[in-house]
Structure 1
Amino acid sequence: MQERQPNVHSDNLMSLETTPTVLIVPGLRDHVAGHWQTLLEQKLANAASVPPLEHDKLSCAARVAALEAALSAIDGPVILVAHSAGVMIAVHWAQQQHSRPVHGALFATPPDFEEPLPEGYPTQDVLSGHGWLPCPRKPLPFPSIVAASRNDPLARFDRVAAMAASWGRRLVDLGEVGHLNPATGYGAWPQAETLIRELL
């Protein structure tokens, strides 16, 4: 499938390479070749990522612990760049009163775990049993941008808009970009760089 990209252009990366570390927080499928998060980490000189789990891959607590460990290994300010379930990992982490400050976060196409997901994805019973539910709704302690799709199979736009409002953060309407992943035709996502720059 030919890769598509939202209608935005990429500026140079000078400001990103001299500012906070960009920490990539992947979803449950971890690092996927050709995914915009993987490509972004390869492109930026100041990027790192949360490593894949070897065990307890569906455990929210294990994912949050992995994020905490990755953050602890970084000195200085951090911008989180999370996609899909990675958004939920970051939100669960943020609302557990960790003392590690975060400069800001870009949350792209978060899933709605409070409604049934399409076939092939974990059921609500499984998600609940692994600690993902309920979805945290308290305001976040750092600036963030929530980028939402109009035709994401994992979450209705209005539901993501409600999440962003409860977290007290800005919502960006991406239009019809599916789940913003290779399966829906998206590789590099230049708009990520633009949105990250807005958090600097």
Structure 2
Amino acid sequence: MKHAICVIGYGSSGVLQETINHLDSPNIDFYIHWDKKYPLPKLQSKFSKIFLLKNRVNVHWGTYTQIQAELNLLKAVKDSNYDYVHLISSTDIPLMTLSYFENFFKKDFYIGFQHPLGPNVYKRLSYYYPIDKLNISNKSWLIKIIKVINILFGVDRLKNQKERIKKGPQWFSIKGKYINRILSFDTSIFKNGRLQQLIEFFGQVTKEDLEWRFPPQTFPGTPV
């Protein structure tokens, strides 16, 4: 089976190189989006093909730019007929052997996670935050001001939203044939949202209708 491992990365590439070394295989290719604020990493492999995306995004934590980076990766792999597509970060490292990884995905799996959606989390998407181009990691004062303005004007962007909203990490392993379905999803509701849960919302909403075929599962105990 052929695998595409999509990587969202930035900064140092040392951990990513170790991941490539560990999963180096003719059956596994790596597609890498490297934050535009950083120089492209120098990566190498013996067997895996490595593709560095040219259409890079200047990623700001907790904004739509993170979703855009993910979409760019999925667009890069969608026409290559991979059996499975995996999304990881450049600081993730596998806790299983290469043979275990390849054998595990000979079965049909959709691997994802889901968390309860509380009222505070709901507001992070329902409020309007015009911050997609801003670095807000150290600007909690700005977030508080925007939140107050939303409350005063009774803003609720989800009021007429038909899609069921769920929360879960953006990282996943999914059958390659479903990538086009994710890419066809209207992502406009996720623009001008806030904080980490924004990309978690995106991951769950776009992949929710796949759960009927592949219920979310986690890895069983894996050998090191």
Same fold (TM over 0.5): no
TM-score by length of 1: 0.36
Bigger Rg, structure 1 or 2:
2
